[in-house]
Chain A
Amino acid sequence: MSYYSTIYKTLFKRNSVFVGTVFFSAFVFQTSFDSAVTSWYENHNKGKLWKDVKFKLQNGGDDDEDEDDDE
């Protein structure tokens, strides 16, 4: 039995399995797509995001705002 026949018999032959496969892969697809886009975005904007800037600001990056607890 060839490769294509195996795929056809396991996934597409029964309609219920076909529909279930479609929905399950849609579930997997949308989360992995979301993860992929988010990681691309965060990589593309590295250094400009709040989580990167936060520590820089907290460690004395701003001289004009804080008045106390800095020597």
Chain B
Amino acid sequence: MLSLRNSMRAPLRSPFRNLPKIPSRFISSSSITAKSTYRTPDFGECIQEDRNPDKSRTFAYFMVGSLGLLSSAGAKSTVETFVSSMSASADILAMAKVEVSLAAIPEGKNVVVKWQGKPVFIRHRTDSEIQEANSVDMSALKDPQQDSDRVKDPKWLVMLGICTHLGCVPIGEAGDFGGWFCPCHGSHYDISGRIRKGPAPLNLEIPAYEFEDDESKLIVG
């Protein structure tokens, strides 16, 4: 008992005191295998006679390749999901365009249609109105723009019915210039939708539109 306690206490006094004297090359960590005393057993009897190493290689590489195949297809699918979530959905696309039959609008009349939640003014202008729109002096305008730049066909004026001041909807066939008048803060627009008087800074906006079927149909959007 006493000797056991002595031997247990011994390392506490000096940890390196009882270390066996070993050559320094066994402490080195390089080329352990060169110093190994392990004798590899001979598995020769267990190995198949007609062993083909390409078989196991083919199997291993096939598995690696299959993993690569599935991961690349999955990665592509993930990327595609994120990218396609940025494009417009089908319900938005369905509302993107509005068709208007122009045959129902007599000359000198306004029509308001809803396009993407916004009002669009369509006016079938008379010849005198077209002349009036073209005779305006550019220097008199706050936002100078030729009438020909604002229409595709001078007969049809198509524009967004949102006042460029604070977004009210102007009233048609009103105001000092025979065009539109915004009741909110008193902006007057002329027969080409250009700002003439009042706080609005810009002319009424023109949306993208096209005529179809020999100008009997208008497609806004």
Report A's interface with B, CB cutoff 8 A.
2, 4-5, 7-9, 11-12, 18-19, 21-23, 25-26, 29-30, 33
Contacts and interface: CB of A to CB of B under 8 A. Distances in A.
Contacts of B70: 26
B153 interface: no
Secondary structure at the A interface, as helix, strand, loop or mixed, is: helix
Secondary structure at the B interface, as helix, strand, loop or mixed, is: helix
Given A18-B65, A21-B65, A8 B58 contact: yes
Query: Which 7 pairs from chain A and chain B are nearest by CB?
Result: A12-B61, A5-B54, A4-B55, A22-B68, A8-B54, A26-B72, A4-B54
Contacts of B65: 11-12, 18, 21-22, 25
Given A2-B52, A22-B68, A8 B61 contact: yes
B136 interface: no
A21 B72 CA distance: 12
B73 A26 contact: yes
Contact of A22 (B52, B55, B57, B69): B69
Interface string B51-76: 01011011001000100111011001
29 contacts: A2-B52, A2-B54, A4-B52, A4-B55, A5-B54, A7-B58, A8-B58, A9-B54, A12-B57, A12-B58, A12-B61, A12-B65, A18-B61, A18-B65, A19-B68, A22-B65, A22-B68, A22-B72, A25-B69, A26-B68, A26-B69, A26-B70, A26-B73, A26-B76, A29-B69, A29-B73, A30-B73, A30-B76, A30-B77
